[in-house]
Chain A
Amino acid sequence: MINEIFIISLKRSFFILTLFLSVNIFAQQIEVCETCEFSDIQTAIDSSKNGGIILIKKGHYKVKNLTITKSIHIIGEDLPIIDGQFKEYVFKINANDFSLEGLNIINPGQSYTKDFAAVLVSKSKNFSIKNNILEKVFFGLLIEKSRYGSISNNEVSSDGVDEAGSGNGVHLWNCSNMKVYNNELYNLRDGIYFEFVKKSEIYENYSHHNIRYGLHFMFSNNNNYHHNKFYKNGAGVAVMFSKFIEMRHNKFLENWGSASYGLLLKEIYDAEIENNLFEQNTIAINVDGSTRINYKNNTFSRNGWAVKVVGACYENIFFQNNFMNNAFDLSYNSKINSNKFDKNYWSDYSGYDLDKDGIGDIPYRPVKLFSYIVNRTPETIVLLRSLFVDIINFSEKVSPVFTPDNLTDNQPLMYMIQ
């Protein structure tokens, strides 16, 4: 009996030992440098086996369409430059369990008809792309039909001038369960673009100076983005035709221009927008068709328009937000309102609190007459903050004629929410 157990355990340990050895054998390492056995990256890839490591040493490698179909790990030492010479793709990957790290990938091709990218990943699973620097890219990382990948600590940049002639930094199409974090993206068309992506997470990225959007969702449900910073983009974040998106703790800063928004919502259902900071955007949130969205604990500070409702917005709830020193807190183009404003702090509120419970005793009307006038005649914006405008706003406040009269915050807070 005891003997039997001994033999079984011996067998098992032998099995583990052989497994360990075989993994060791598979994990062979190939070095690539100008004077090494391998000086060409593609040959190194071709001669490596599943689980192998390719170590690329410092240097300038001119490549085109490096194709990977195996589970290998490509690691750059001292940021080797992988130069696509402006021809098509730099990396084309179709493999599971691979990783790509520490590379400086530059100059993929540019085209008006094809989406040439620095790294194209398609139909892959369990991969990680990290610590790379991608420069002068058309598309940076283009990921298609993939799952369980992580993209982290990359710096992606380009020199995009117009929307048509530039590509996206991280472009995900038809993916699920992806993680995109800690990346810096700038001078691209869209910093990060999600189309048909599910159950993915985007966090701690810094997306700035992009021509179109810092982050863009299209038909992507059940995603979550938080702790990102969007600075001086055409629009910070555009969320379009998507459901169940969670947006928390993001910063939207200084997105200026006639079509510039901190956050653009278009046909969105059931989203959560919480604890975000919107500062000095032309329009902090532009809402065009949205239903059942909860806005909570957001801070809107010194924006042109804090919330601009363009149309078809139902059952949205604004609860405990700070509206501070915006030129317009809210702009509304219809007289019907089914949205609810409750317990927000409005810096323009001039009511009193006699029972000292921290809630103002008279309701606040966030829509001013002047915002209605500016909607109709945009040139009147030059009269912003003039005495006459204050007078007509005041008279509208006393007896609302042009603005929806049920659009009020009945419990405005007296103090800012920290």
Chain B
Amino acid sequence: MFKILKYSFYDLMRSRWSYVYFIFYLALGFILLFLNNDVNKAVITLMNIIIVLTPLIGTVFGVMYYYNSKEFTELLLAQPIKRSKIFMGQYLGISISLTLSLVLGLGIPFVAYGLFRSSAIFDFSLLLLVGAFLNFIFVALSFNIALSNENKIKGFGYAILMWLFLAVIYDGVFLTFLVFFNEYPLDKFSLIATMFNPIDLSRILILLKLDISALLGYTGAVFRKFFGTNLGMTLSIFILVLWIIFPVWRMNRKLKKKDF
């Protein structure tokens, strides 16, 4: 597995797209800080970008890599190597290289602008952690989609649709539901619904650090327990881990049955 991981990692590190991705984040970081000149404020703006763009890039990259390296993968499959090892190696290779681009791309400008001397360092590390989680989750989800669809165009379509659903549509339906069933106690429901969307979950995780003052404005006891104590933080991270484990498990199950 580590050999495959190493090869796909080096392959990606040499590829143009990792550099584009890295340079995009680097430019973004510098421009944000140049325009704001305030690390605290830039962290907030960055949150919006991370929870929307990281999943999108993870999804597109995952699908693209799967279809592009299909021939090489089939060649590998002919060798006496376990299937799960090949795909896990590829999966980890992509996720790690994307995460590296993210961390370095954003880390360099922020460190250059005096992150270590600022109080925002914890918020910023959390942001990067969430970004890493989202990379791992969305690459796994896109691998699942690609594995289930032989047709390249279909696979791409479903992957983008999945991103669109989780990033925008889910929240729209969720909001409509909350407003519509206004009269009912909805605090438990709204927290549980958040758990079913990794993007919402990561947003909540960041808000717990950045906007805790606003989140505590609601009177419900369930909310207060969730946001006011460490429960929210622990539970969110735990479920994010589940969000990685479940797609990876399904990927491995699918692999065993798939006819290449």
Name A's B-contacting residues (CB within 8 A). 254, 256-260, 280-283, 302-305, 324-325, 327-328, 347, 373, 376-392
Contacts and interface: CB of A to CB of B under 8 A. Distances in A.
B213 interface: yes
Interface of B: 40-41, 44, 47-48, 51-52, 167-169, 171-172, 174-175, 178-179, 182, 186-187, 189-191, 194, 199-200, 203-204, 207, 210-220, 223-224
A304 B218 CA distance: 11
A386 B194 CA distance: 12
Contacts of B44: 325
Given A386-B200, A388-B171, A388-B175, A379 B213 contact: no
26 contacts: A258-B219, A280-B213, A281-B213, A302-B40, A304-B216, A305-B217, A325-B40, A327-B213, A376-B179, A377-B179, A378-B217, A379-B178, A379-B220, A380-B175, A380-B179, A381-B214, A381-B218, A383-B174, A383-B178, A383-B200, A384-B215, A385-B203, A386-B171, A386-B203, A387-B48, A387-B168
A14 B13 CA distance: 101
Given A324-B41, A388-B171, A382 B216 contact: no
A229 to B, nearest CB: 17
Contact of A304 (B171, B200, B214): B214
Contact of A385 (B48, B178, B179): B48
B216 A282 contact: yes
B174 A378 contact: no
B61 to A, nearest CB: 20
Given A304-B211, A327-B211, A387-B52, A379 B190 contact: yes
A254 B18 CA distance: 42
Nearest to B187: A379
A386 B189 CA distance: 18
Most B Cβ at <10 Å: residue of A258, A259, A381: A381
Contact of B216 (A256, A324, A379, A391): A256
A379 B214 contact: no
Contacts of B224: 258
A385 B216 contact: no
Closest 8 CB pairs of A and B: A304-B214, A388-B171, A327-B214, A258-B219, A304-B213, A379-B186, A379-B190, A378-B218
Contacts, number: 112
A283 B214 CA distance: 8
Contacts of A304: 211, 213-217
A19 B212 CA distance: 66
A325 B186 contact: no
Contacts of A385: 47-48, 203, 207, 211
Contacts of B199: 386
A388 B189 CA distance: 19
B218 A305 contact: no
A257 B210 CA distance: 15
A382 B194 contact: yes
A176 to B, nearest CB: 37
Nearest to A380: B178
Nearest to A257: B216
A379 B219 CA distance: 9
A389 B215 contact: no
A304 B51 CA distance: 20
Contacts of B40: 302, 325
Contacts of A379: 178, 186-187, 189-190, 218, 220, 223
Contact of A390 (B48, B175, B215): B48
Nearest to A304: B214
B47 A388 contact: no
Contacts of A347: 41
Contacts of A391: 168
Given A258-B224, A302-B40, A384-B203, 4 more contacts: A379-B220, A380-B178, A384-B215, A389-B171
Most A Cβ at <10 Å: residue of B182, B218, B220: B218
Contacts of A390: 48
Given A387-B168, A388-B168, A382 B190 contact: yes
Contacts of B223: 379
Contacts of B47: 385
Contacts of A328: 214
A377 B178 contact: yes
Nearest to A382: B190
Contacts of A382: 190-191, 194, 200, 204, 215
B48 A258 contact: no
Contacts of A302: 40, 210-211, 213
Contacts of B48: 385, 387, 390
